[in-house]
Amino acid sequence: MSSMDNPRICMREDGLHLSSPAPISGLRHENRLVRELDDLVEALRMILDNAYSGIILCDRDSRVLYMNRFYADLLKTNKDEALGKHIKDFFPASRLPGVLETGEMELGQRCSLRADVALVVNRIPVKMGGETIGVLLQTIFKDYTEINELMARLNLLEKEVKYYKRGLDTVLSATYTFDSIIGKNARIREAKRVAEKYARTNAAVLIVGATGAGKELFAHAVHLASKRRAGPFACVNCAAIPKDLLESELFGYETGAFTGARQKGKAGRIELAHKGTLFLDEIGDIPLAAQSKLLRVLETRHIEKLGGLKTLEVDFRLIAATNRDLRAMMDRNEFREDLFYRLNTMIVEIPSLSERTEDIPDLVRHFLYSMGKGSTRVSDSAMNILRSYQWPGNVRELKNMFERAVSLAEGDLINVDHLPYEIRTYASKCSQSPRTAFKPLAEELACYEKQILSEAISMNKGNMAKTARVLRVSRSTLYEKCKVHGI
């Protein structure tokens, strides 16, 4: 065969191309394709057998025409015996037939050979006259050690990326639903009802309540009940960030925007909330300058990073929370009037714990179960003290107090001795201080009756028959009174 009869080989962007001087059709065309591939194999055999990477050449039926020594050793087979076998005999999940079908190269693809060996390969189509007539399969590493070491590093990096992604997803995701908000009090139930209605809209929501009352739980619940539940939930505690850094935290910044800025800049929380919800906790602590920029973002739905020259479109729903009187701050020129009225349309008011003391037993049970102490109970005398305390720190203070009490209790009973000193002394002071007001007599008597029943049952360690004998009432009367008082 003359040199003019041999196919010419050139590498292009879409694969390895063979060119022939004259077109041939029919059976001669088929025979010529086979002959030209054989010529290609023979011409490359000497070079490829000594290459420091694996080479396999397959025909249009995905059968092996050539396998070099590297791949044969890797597959633990004889390279001559491999000829004619289907590529899936060696790689059951091989994507090589797909390359034959599409004619498109696949470069740098990860391929699992065995549980202990993974490869990175190139799949290069071999073409002639626009027709894919084979595929060249090539590993891009020279020995097993290099492959395994690199794949180990890649696996480690992949695990790290997944770890940090989970962390980012946790930071930008809501956790609590309306079912997470415990309480039978009429005001807390009304707050949940109103918040659930607001969640169906896309308007800004303002959550008002004392510190520790559960404003963040409501914000989470509103997001998860909204149409944006699948989007991010970016949370910013405006009171916890220094005022001179708050703008960069909210709006982000470009490279070199200020001294100490990250070299690659930083995305702001508003940008991270795109297609989701931005929760600004303690919004009353935002400086006036940042308030002005926030209002502009709410109106235009565009942000401009610090030190940036272009604007970025953002789509988010704002939920704000505060324990401060924004109207009074507005009167003192500490809060922008236009921003106040932008937020003042949909308000959720959360009662403090001292306004819903009847929810304390349910909250206590919830905290104990969440701490894995479901079998632990609280003595009636301790519960009475908890219900009489004012709880300036609200639900958060109650939860923190029980974490301490559980660690102090040696058994499954939390009593008065396990309560903090300030709570015990507060109850003592309240019992010693002269009363300045009274409830209606019927309510006062009912209160004393409940206290007497609770103490008697506690003293008799829950034995209802013994308690009934001590109080000289029938057991049915005792059970009925306990039901009335919720004991």
Q: Which domains does the chain have, with CATH numbers?
A: 8-140 (3.30.450.20), 178-350 (3.40.50.300), 352-433 (1.10.8.60), 438-487 (1.10.10)
Q: Please answer whether residues 56 and 64 qualify as being in contact, where contact means their C-beta atoms are separated by less than 8 angstroms.
A: yes
Q: What is the mean pLDDT of residues 174-194?
A: 92
Is the pLDDT reported for residue 237 higher than 50?
A: yes
Is the pLDDT reported for residue 20 higher than 80?
A: no
Helix, strand, or coil (residue 476): helix
Is the pLDDT reported for residue 87 higher than 80?
A: yes
DSSP 8-class letter at 306: B
Closest CA to 334 of 288, 367, 376, 297: 288
**Matching residue, tokens 């049970």:** 365
C-alpha span between 279 and 343 (Å, rounded) = 13
The model's confidence at residue 164, banded by pLDDT at 50, 70 and 90, is low
**Structure tokens given for 1:** 């065969």
Is the pLDDT reported for residue 6 higher than 60?
A: no
Please give the span between the terminal C-alpha atoms of the chain, in angstroms, as a whole number: 104
**Bridge partners for 106 per DSSP:** 123
- The model's pLDDT over 366-409, given as tens digits with 9 standing for 90+, comes to 999 988 888 889 999 889 889 888 888 899 999 999 888 888 88
Q: What is the pLDDT of residue 205?
A: 96
Q: What is the pLDDT of residue 36?
A: 64
- The model's pLDDT over 243-283, given as tens digits with 9 standing for 90+, comes to 888 888 898 888 766 555 566 678 889 999 999 999 999 99
Region of residue 404 (phi > 0: left; psi between -120 and 50: alpha; otherwise: beta): alpha
C-alpha span between 282 and 238 (Å, rounded) = 6
Selection from 68-72, 136-140, 282-286 with the highest mean pLDDT: 282-286
**Matching residue, tokens 């039926």:** 61
**Matching residue, tokens 């490359």:** 44
Q: What is the mean pLDDT of residues 28-51?
A: 64
Q: What is the pLDDT of residue 319?
A: 96
The model's confidence at residue 311, banded by pLDDT at 50, 70 and 90, is confident
Q: What is the mean pLDDT of residues 59-73?
A: 89
Is the pLDDT reported for residue 19 higher than 90?
A: no
Closest CA to 421 of 385, 395, 456, 448: 385
**Structure tokens given for 56:** 């396999």
